[in-house]
Structure 1
Amino acid sequence: MMSRRGHGYALLSLAALALLSVNLRIPPIAISPVIELMRADLGLTSAAAGLLTSIPVLCFGLITPFTSLLLRKIGVNHAVLYCLTGLIIGTIVRSGGTLTAAIGGTVIIGAALTIGNIAIPMLIGRDFKTRAVLVTGIYTASVNVGTTAAAALTAPFAEIVGWQLALANWAIFAVLALVLWVIVYPPHLDRPRWMDAVAPEPAKPVSKERAQFEELSTATIPIAIVKPGDSRGFRPYAWSVAWLLAIAFAAHNLAFYAVASWLPALLSQSQEMTPSQAGFAASGFQALAIVGPLLIPTLGAIFSWNATRLMVLVSSLWIAMPLGMLVAPSFWYLWVICGGMAQGATFTVIFSIVIQRTASIDQNRKLTAFVQTVGYTLAAAGPVVTGWLRDISDGWSGPLLAVLVTTVILAVSGIWAAKSRAPAPGY
């Protein structure tokens, strides 16, 4: 039976991961409710304003290979310090009140978030591998808690203190996450503070704390230690499963950023809502994403659903949103529910497959970097392409058809990746 102290250590690890995750999408989402105020004060064109929301996504794709190398060199514990410090600095700089500060701060934020995108899947694979689906769900749900809060609270804050302080205030959460991270995951270690080795040494006695962590492998919140391993023969670009996961992730993110960018305007025009009503309705898309990641481990545990069945479910929910908005727009609330649940759950399923199909932390790092590089680079075009289609079609049919095609691509590639048993090259 595990002691309260052992359970406390496990919960503290999850708390550190969750608080880090909360910060990973607040900065780009927080801009949307106050973008018109920023345009007025900074004299931005629509293109420049759009750049402030697309820069982080471009960073996710373009900087990921370099971030992956950084993580290999200094480790997860140390790298996350750069992530959270960068978020604090970038959030404050972006609120400086000039165009240069806004762009410069956004670049810093994008680079910092890229580190977090790679670090968290590696951390889950290292410390929570035996419960990867559950902990990935907690991670994704935590991210969506942050996005929902940012979407709902930034505009009211701006009415009281102005958009600059409203955006800068979100740095407080990064400060809290930084403090907890240093307590739980010191940068000079490659494990939690209280673990005295990366893997058990059978010939040597282990500490009481270490034994408690090993006991977690069969407890409610288990932690399993995975050795770094040698992945010199592992080449994601030569593996069909890696390409299928990358395509699925790209399609998922392209659909997400397209919907997140244009849903308020779509609801305002098609349902004759006021801007505030449309914004509140669209926030459900973010809020419901909290449910999706928690649904996945529940289905896996209760019904023993494998990755293929889970991918069929989440891709079907994704397809339902644009299809429903095209054929039955009056039921928009139902389609928002489907899309919101799908966008949170899809991330969980994809990266659960990444974790399950890799045999070491370094393989995890390489595959995660490859999937995110392809996915986020393509996803940055989502809001631009859907906006262009809206202009040339003078309505929402064009953008919705584009999102529908994208979600079908997600379904085909994601289900194929989940079912594939193609071995990784070099292993």
Structure 2
Amino acid sequence: MTTSAFDSTELDLGESTVEGSPPADRRRWLIVAAIVLTGLTMRVAVTSVGAVLTDLERGLHASSSAAGIITTLPVIAFAGIGFLGPRLAHRFGEHRLVAAALLATTAGLVLRAVAGSVWMFAVLSMLALTGGAIANVLLPALVKRHFPDRIGTMTAVYTTSLALGLTASAGFTAPLAELGGQSWRFGIGAWALLSAVAVLPWLPMLAGDRPDPASQPDRVPLSWLLRSKLAWALVLMFGTQSFQAYIAFGWFTDFFRHHNLDATEAGLLLAFYAALSIPVSMAIPALAVRGQRLIVVVLSAAGLISYLGMLTAPVAGAWLWMLLGGISGGMFPLALTMIGLRSRQIATTAALSAFVQGIGYLLAGAGPLLVGVLLGVSDSWTWPLVLLILAVLGSAATGWYAARPDFVDDQLSRPAGRLAQ
């Protein structure tokens, strides 16, 4: 691939850097609906389990170790299945793959709700996580394909939908279980209706999803991205941010209980932290198309102050620390937006999305495990918070580099005549 001159206006707006074009008006709202509904489903298979985990353990006679495996499955699915996304999309078509993945999620949500053993539940959970894993890596490419002039806006749309779905499934699964006669099975299975509905707007797009094989664009192998410093910067930016988020959702309630807050207030603090992802996801991607370095500095500073506050005044400033921590979580939608803004070609966007999220989620999965080890050794939150401080500094440094005016495509040395679309 030849290196092209950089134009900051093209990078910020995402208009001239790809060969795609905005969809016709008659299809635009259908695509928007598909993206919104898919975003809503992306985390329901994860957070619905956490909401009724105690009842689930009791109902399936699961040990704590087995429950730990179940809660680790999302990381495995998002990394493993995510890596396969670009290859499968190249073979079957992006829209077909998303629709099929949502159908798999629907089946998995229903079937695991009637599983008779914890191991069958775990296997079917991998099926239920398929839609989220595929959508993770393909939605940035689909936004690039259908809305090359609205990358920030449409990334905000699906990350906000993701945040809404996450919050809803965390908050409403237990009430749904009560509605179903105190049945955790009904509580987690009811979300299959949402994923089934999410399939519908994709269906009209399936017929034209695969062009003639002879005219299909080249796929960008993930191995090529190993040579891109910018790709690695995005991996570490995304990974260190998700590392913090997984620790927060897994351990912050325990942190506040450790400092003598009751279970209700500790839960409300975490809910407040999670709910902040909704306005943050609405704002950050739209702002990011005009420049990212200032946003990286502001979000990183918020995270750093939050962790230092938790270290020095965990109870007195608890709500402020969660406010700043929730704002700092804007690094997640920022990283997803930058995947689209730092790639010229649609195939590069898909490969970069899989590369960043595949490796990034593996890094994220180590966070809760490390905190558990540190707490087991010291029974103190000092070292876990030091770990979080190091993570936010790492996210700041790699985010600063990733915000430089460059494209992953331009860093790849590729044979002439093999331009990815």
Q: Give the TM-score category using the shorter length.
A: 0.7 to 0.9
- Tell whether 2:122 aligns with 1:138: no
Alignment partners' CA distance in 1, 2:104 and 2:145: 24
Aligned with residue 342 of structure 1, among 328, 334, 338: 328
- Distance in 2 (alpha carbons) for counterparts of 1:388 and 1:86: 35
Q: What is the rounded CA distance, in whole Å, between the counterparts of 2:45 and 2:56 in structure 1?
A: 14
User: Is 2:310 aligned against 1:292?
Assistant: no
Please report how far the alpha carbon of residue 56 of structure 1 lies from its aligned counterpart in structure 2 after TM superposition: 1.6
Structure 2 equivalent of residue 282 of structure 1: 270
The equivalences for 1:186-335 within 5 A come to 186-190=205-209, 230=218, 235-274=224-263, 276-300=264-288, 305-329=290-314, 330-335=316-321
Over 3 Å off, 4+ runs? 5-9, 227-234, 297-301, 420-423
**Equivalent residue in structure 1 for 2:62, among 13, 20, 44:** 44
1:188 alignment partner, SS class: coil
1:375, distance to aligned residue in structure 2 (A) = 0.3
Alpha-carbon shift at residue 411 of structure 1 (Å): 0.7
1:368 paired residue among 325, 336, 353? 353
Deviation of residue 130 (structure 1)?
A: 0.9
Q: CA deviation at 1:110?
A: 2.9
Quote the offset at 1:273 in angstroms. 1.6
**Is 1:78–2:96 an aligned residue pair?**
yes
**Could you tell me which residue of structure 1 aligns to residue 130 of structure 2?**
111
Instruction: Please give the secondary structure, in 1, of the residue aligned with 2:178.
Output: helix
Q: Which moved more, 1:57-66 or 1:8-17?
A: 8-17
What's the secondary structure of 2:317's corresponding residue?
Answer: helix
Distance in 2, Cα, partners of 1:67 & 1:394: 41
- Measured after TM superposition, the shift of residue 113 of structure 1 is 2.1
SS of the equivalent of 2:242 reads helix
Compute the displacement of 1:181 (Å). Answer: 2.4
Question: Structure 2: how far apart are the matches of 1:382 and 1:372?
Answer: 15
Match of residue 353, structure 1, among 338, 350, 353? 338
> How many Å separate the matches in 2 of 1:109 and 1:233?
27
Say if 1:254 and 1:300 are closer, same or farther in 2 by CA, change over 3 A.
closer
Q: Aligned AA for 1:118?
A: V
What is the CA–CA distance in structure 1 between the aligned matches of 2:113 and 2:265, rounded to whole Å?
Answer: 27
1:169 match: 190
Report the 3-state secondary structure (helix = DSSP H, G, I; strand = E; otherwise coil) of the residue aligned with 1:272. coil
- CA-based RMSD: 2.4
SS in 1 for 2:161: helix
Residues in 2 aligned to 1:25 and 1:31: alpha-carbon distance in whole angstroms: 10
Which range moved further: 98-107 or 124-133?
98-107
Partner letter of residue 31 of structure 2?
A: S
Which whole-Å deviations, capped at 9, do the CAs of 1:200-225 have from their partners, x for residues lacking one? xxxxxxxxxxxxxxxxxxxxxxxxxx
Q: Measured at CA, do residues 425 and 283 of structure 1 come closer, stay the same or move farther in structure 2, by a change above 3 Å? A: same
Query: Relative CO higher for 1 or 2, CA cutoff 8 Å, sep ≥ 6?
Result: 2
Q: Deviations over 1:195-254 (max 9, x none)?
A: xx9xxxxxxxxxxxxxxxxxxxxxxxxxxxxx9854659921101000111111110111
**Could you say if the C-alpha distance between residues 358 and 6 of structure 1 is closer, same or farther in structure 2, counting changes exceeding 3 Å?**
closer
Q: TM-score, normalising length from structure 1?
A: 0.83
**Aligned residues of 1:249 and 1:350 also touching (Cα < 8 A):** yes
List per-residue Cα deviations over 1:62-86 (Å, max 9, x = no partner). 2322222101111211001121111
| 3-state secondary structure, aligned to 2:412 | coil
Shift of 1:298: 5.0
Q: In the superposition, relative to structure 1, how do residues 126 and 64 fare at CA in structure 2: closer, same or farther (>3 Å)? A: same
Q: 2:41 touches 2:165 (CA, 8 Å); kept in 1?
A: yes
Question: TM-score scaled to structure 2, two decimals?
Answer: 0.85
Consecutive unaligned residues of structure 2, counting only runs of 5 or more, are 1-22, 415-421
CA positional deviation for 1:393: 1.9
Corresponding letter in the other structure for 2:106: I
Q: Is 1:90 the equivalent of 2:111?
A: no
Please tell me whether the aligned partners of residues 241 and 420 of structure 1 are also in contact (alpha carbons under 8 angstroms): no
User: Percent same amino acid at aligned positions?
Assistant: 27
Q: Does 1:424 align with 2:392?
A: no
Matched letter for residue 32 of structure 2: L
Q: Is the 8 A contact 2:152 2:286 kept in 1?
A: no
In the alignment, the residues of structure 1 paired with residue 28 and residue 248 of structure 2 have an alpha-carbon distance, to the nearest angstrom, of 36
* Structure-2 separation of matches of 1:233 and 1:190: 21
SS in 1 for 2:344: coil
Q: Secondary structure at the match of 1:349?
A: helix
Displacement of 1:314 in angstroms is: 2.2
Q: 2:170 aligns to what?
A: 151
Q: Deviations over 1:70-127 (max 9, x none)?
A: 0111121100112111111111122124213311111112333221111111100100
On the 8 A contact 1:59/1:110 being kept in 2, the answer is yes
Aligned partner of 2:9 in structure 1 is none
Distance 1:349 1:297, change over 3 A: closer
Indicate the residue corresponding to 1:205 in structure 2.
none
Asked if structure 2 preserves the Cα contact closer than 8 Å seen for 1:61 and 1:376, the reply is yes
Q: Name the SS of the counterpart of 1:380 in structure 2.
A: helix
Q: Could you tell me which amino acid in structure 2 is paired with residue 272 of structure 1?
A: L
Query: Does the 8 Å contact 1:60/1:372 carry over to 2?
Result: yes
- Structure 2 CA distance, aligned partners of 1:339 and 1:15? 31
Would you say the 8 A contact 2:288–2:337 is kept in 1?
A: no
Where 1:404 maps in the other structure, the secondary structure is helix
